Amino acid sequence: MSLTEQRSSAVSAALAKDRLGVPSVVFFVISAAAPLMVVAGSVPTAYAVTGVLGVPFAFLLLGAVFALFAVGYVTMARHVVNAGAFYAYAAQGLGRTQGVATAWVALLAYNALQLGLYGIIGSAAEPLLLDWFGGSPAWWVIALLAWALTGLLGLLRVDVNGKILSVLLVSEIAVVLVFDIGDLLNAAPGGIDFEGFTPGSLFVPGVGAALATVVAGFAGIESSVVFAEESKDRDRTVPIATYLGITIIAVLYAISAWAQTVPTGPDGIVKAAAQQGPTLVFNQAATHLGSTVSTIGSVLFVTSSIACMIAFHNTTARYIFALGRENVLPSVFGRTSARTAAPVAGSVLQTTLGLIVITVYAVSGLDPVTKLFFTFGAFGGLGLLTLLTITSIAVIVYFSRNPSGETAWRTRVAPALAILALCVIIGMTLINFDTVLGVAPGSAIRWILPGIFIVAIVFGLVWGRVLKATRPEVYANIGLGAQAVGGGSK
């Protein structure tokens, strides 16, 4: 959209009517973060796998880091016509070759976050099936059902309807808060203990592992700038929605993660989480509030997981589509299903990967929650941290080359602080990656997984160079997304 458009124009006014306001963007953003899934799935797993009690503090800390990152990020959104957010910014700020490398990292990270969800759906549905039918199939049967549903809806381009999404989201948050109150009213004999909110409880061995998981809980928040083009006021809607989304998520998760420790006491949470896994919060709720509330929570846990799967499936498929339109990926990925307007090839690729992962885990008998959901989540979280760091660097470089009248805080100071904080977090995550994976400290796999991102970056840089040398017309359009076919005119 042209920035020279006059505000009083009848055309602009008519188009603006269909655009999104702050509440809609916040709903989209938070629902991709799937509150109940994080509170019931990620948090107990984080306690169990890492043994770190400072998870509540980690949510607040990362909320602050995300907010710091968002300062430069939303400023960039005002100046760069946005196609695929991260890699578009990297292409604009750091150069197109670096943009391709960033795109590969983003593809890997989002794929990991999406595929990991197939590991949690089984444990989400199992208690309900046991309760209702007295038995439950293996986790992978449930995962395959969810996989088929996600794949089908992806091809039909069924995004979960905005209204349904808001109802689900509000109910989820309500249930989480009710669970929290139940926990607080039933404190352990030792009384209510605020240890989880102290920095000392977080910065213990295993901190990096806890941080990596917590990051995955924030995944989705970065999608806010994708709505810049579709928002009512490009300059205000997106920043407000982003900060609001981060605040709501950080506070809600921190309180809920802490509330889970209240009935068991800080000493008992790790053991309880290890024994009960994702059923922990529902068991607590059943004891404190009765089985009806607990069942409502379980049902919402399932719907929340499925909504999150669909959201990530579609995000990734669209990402692949944008890259296909730019010819960075083979142009077949830029093809549209004319009947449903779905990015069909990207969607099929996602679905195929899902089947492979579920099959491999089912055949090898690995634990879906800790080895699939948690490992993929942490791996995706690590990728997300890398993306945030690259993007912050891109913001600084972009504004140093294109002075824009924005304040130094927005274009230099906040992004620089974000880079510093993110690098520390990435360092700590790498140090503890053995804990994340549950392997021996000397195991090779702990270096292989982060190494995949390095390979992706190197491969992306090489591919960018190849494109520059052999197909300059494609190279010129990197980072433009759907605009690429138009040569980027605005």
Partner 1 sequence: MAEGDLKSPSLADDLFFVMHDNATGRTRLHLRLASLGLAGAVLGELMLAERLTMDVASGQDRLYVTTRDATGDPVTQNVLDQVAAEPQHPVLTWLLFFARTVYADVATRMIAANLLKPATRNLLKQQRPVPVDPNVAAWPQARLNLAVQRREPPVTRDCVLYGLFVATGGAQRVLWEHDPAFVATTLAMLPAPLQRLIVQTEVAVGQAVISRR
Residues that bind partner 1 (CB under 8 A): 1-2, 4-6, 9-12, 14-15, 18, 28, 83, 157, 159, 162, 226-227, 229-230, 314, 318, 321-322, 325, 334-343, 481-483, 485-487, 489-490
CA distance 143 to 153: 15
Closest approach of Cβ 338 to partner 1, in Å? 4
Containing H/E element for 12?
helix 10-17
Contacts 24+ apart (CB under 8 A), 233-236: 234/77, 234/78, 235/78
Three-state SS for 16-29 is HHCCECHHHHHHHH
Q: Specify whether the CB–CB gap between 381 and 219 falls below 8 A.
A: yes
- Supply φ then ψ for residue 342, to 5 degrees: -95, 150
Does the CA dihedral 60-61-63-67 come out positive or negative?
A: positive
With respect to partner 1, which residue has the nearer C-beta, 44 or 481?
A: 481
* Shortest separation between residue 42's beta carbon and partner 1, angstroms: 24
Nearer to partner 1, 74 or 142 (CB): 74
Least distance to partner 1, CB of residue 489, Å: 5
Distance CA 250, CA 320 (A): 29
Q: Taking the chain, what is the end-to-end CA distance rounded to the nearest angstrom?
A: 6
Of 227 and 399, nearer to partner 1 (C-beta) is: 227
Q: Which is nearer to partner 1, 470 or 489 (CB)?
A: 489
Comparing CB distances to partner 1, the nearer of 112 and 226 is: 226
Instruction: For the CB of residue 486, give the shortest distance to partner 1 in the complex, in Å.
Output: 4
Name every residue whose Cβ is closer than 8 Å to that of residue 344 and which is 6 or more positions away in sequence: 155, 335, 336, 337
The per-residue DSSP string of 240-280 comes to HHHHHHHHHHHHHHHHHHHHHHHHH-TTTHHHHHHHHGGGH
The distance of closest approach from Cβ of residue 233 to partner 1 in the complex, given in angstroms and rounded to an integer, is: 17
For residues 411 and 75, is the Cβ–Cβ distance under 8 A? yes
Nearer to partner 1, 40 or 228 (CB): 228
Element (H, E) at 396: helix 375-401
DSSP structure class, residue 186: T
Phi, psi of 187 (to 5 degrees): -65, 155
Query: Closest approach of Cβ 229 to partner 1, in Å?
Result: 8
Cβ closest to partner 1, residue 130 vs residue 341:
341
CB of 399 to partner 1, least distance (A): 23
For residues 10 and 363, which CB has a smaller minimum distance to partner 1 in the complex? 10
The CB-side HSE value for 38 (13 A sphere, CA atoms) comes to 33
CA distance 368 to 122: 8
CA angle 392/396/397 to nearest 5° reads: 115
Q: Is the Cβ of residue 30 or residue 270 nearer to partner 1 in the bound state? A: 30
Least Cβ distance, residue 62 to partner 1 (angstroms): 25
Tell the smallest beta-carbon distance from residue 15 to partner 1 (Å): 6
Q: Name the one residue in this structure whose structure tokens are 């946005």.
A: 82
Closer by beta carbon to partner 1, 227 or else 379:
227
| Burial bucket for residue 484 (CB in 10 Å: 0-12, 13-18, 19+) | buried
**Phi then psi dihedrals of residue 231, to 5 deg:** -95, 160
Q: Which C-beta is closer to partner 1: that of 268 or that of 472? A: 472
From the CB of 466, what's the least distance to partner 1, in Å? Answer: 21
Query: Shortest gap between Cβ of 309 and partner 1 (angstroms)?
Result: 15
